[in-house]
Amino acid sequence: MSGWRRWALLFAAFVCVFPGLSRAETPKGAVLVIEAETAAVLQAENATHLWYPASLTKVMTAYMVFEALADGRLALDQKVPISKHAAGQSPTKLGLGAGKQVRVGLLLDAMIVRSANDAAVALAEAVSGSEEAFATAMTRKARALGMRRTVFKNASGLPDQMQVTTAKDMAILARAQLKTFPQHFARFSKTQFMLNRRARPTTNGWMVGYPGADGFKTGFTCGSGYNLIGTAERDGRRVIAVVLGGKTSGVRNARMTKLMNTAFAAPSPGADAGTLGSLPATPTTAVPYVLPGGQCAVAPAVGTAPSDGKLPGWGLVLGSFASKAQANAIIKGHRQSLKEVTRHGRPAVIAKLRHDPQLYTALLVDLNQRDAGEACKHLWSLGHYCLAVPPKLLNNPDTLWR
């Protein structure tokens, strides 16, 4: 099987949709519009629902690199190696060969302007030694910034069922990027960069065509749909908007344009306007929403049920791991953490047979809805990944966690 075909099959397997969600339960998307200066909310729809960030992840990757530049751990003209792991990333990428040495500044442009996954991983490894360690640091930084529902598992945004965010968290990140590193913001405004005497255009077509637009970032996977963080400035007033889950890039860009036009047409909100911090929290029982059907091929999911058959009650999905021993250890540790919340729940481990190498999903099942919600809320507060899943999804073999 050719390399590209094998990648396509693996990609489809990672990003299949949730058939168990009814049309009424699946939103058209998530949007959030805020004033950059005050964080006043101008418009919000599904702004605190979990979503897959796709390449919006790279805004946090850039933030972490800018921190490393600020404290002297990296320099823009410093050359860093391209590892086999970085070179082996799925597209979109520049095709940087393993063993090459590439300047940090060029890698930043490649990642931000062209959304190059190999560049993102090379930068992650330069900062933290490994992409895994970098992702852990990304999640820690997200918490420090107030991004309470975001978990990062890689530097690029390539599909990972545990890498989740919200429109609210992405707005917090964009605002922090503007406030903390204004000296680097011009990189998000570039319409192209040069590599080997060839101009590489930005993936952000909306930014190029909208008057006053000067950033930020696009993203797409089959699970996330077409995502976009945008920022624009008119008459000294800056607006940040987030659109998640567009069915096409054109639909996404049109929605962003409408949101921006509406925002600039209205006067700036007063001091009593609600801010990001006042947005209501989504119930912790929500699963990440995905783009409903038709955009990418869907590979069949295969799972193995526990010996006693159907998984009972509500369940907590605690993550997927390389071995049963790791999965059981996570369950044991989390049960200890949950003693003050609930003493109910029984362990279950599901083999994810569609993955190569095989992974094992750790769960706590046989919970009622209230206990599942409270338990997941508690684990999120501790910085752990958790999804509370109702019975109809828990036993659906096509859900992403299977």
- Residues with active-site annotation: 55, 58, 115
Please state, in angstroms and rounded to a whole number, the distance separating the CA atoms of residues 314 and 285. Answer: 9
Annotate 229-279 with three-state secondary structure: EEEEEECCEEEEEEEEEECCHHHHHHHHHHHHHHHHHCCCCCCCCCEHHHC
CA distances from 220 to 45, 134, 159, 296, 378 (A): 19, 22, 10, 11, 30
Residue 358 to residue 304: CA distance in whole angstroms: 12
Where does residue 228 rank: exposed (0-12), middle (13-18), buried (19+ CB within 10 A)? buried
State the Cα–Cα distance between residues 15 and 223, nearest whole angstrom.
5
Say how far apart CA 230 and CA 93 lie, in whole Å.
22
CA distance 383 to 132: 16
Q: Which two tokens stand for residue 11?
A: 């990609």
Residues 162 and 363: their CA atoms lie apart, in Å, by 14
Which one-letter amino acid corresponds to residue 249? S
What whole-number distance in Å separates Cα of residue 267 and Cα of residue 210?
A: 20
Structure tokens at 366: 């046989």
Burial of 270 from C-beta contacts in 10 A (0-12 / 13-18 / 19+): exposed
Indicate the residue type of 247.
K
Identity of residue 337: S
Residue 401 DSSP symbol: T
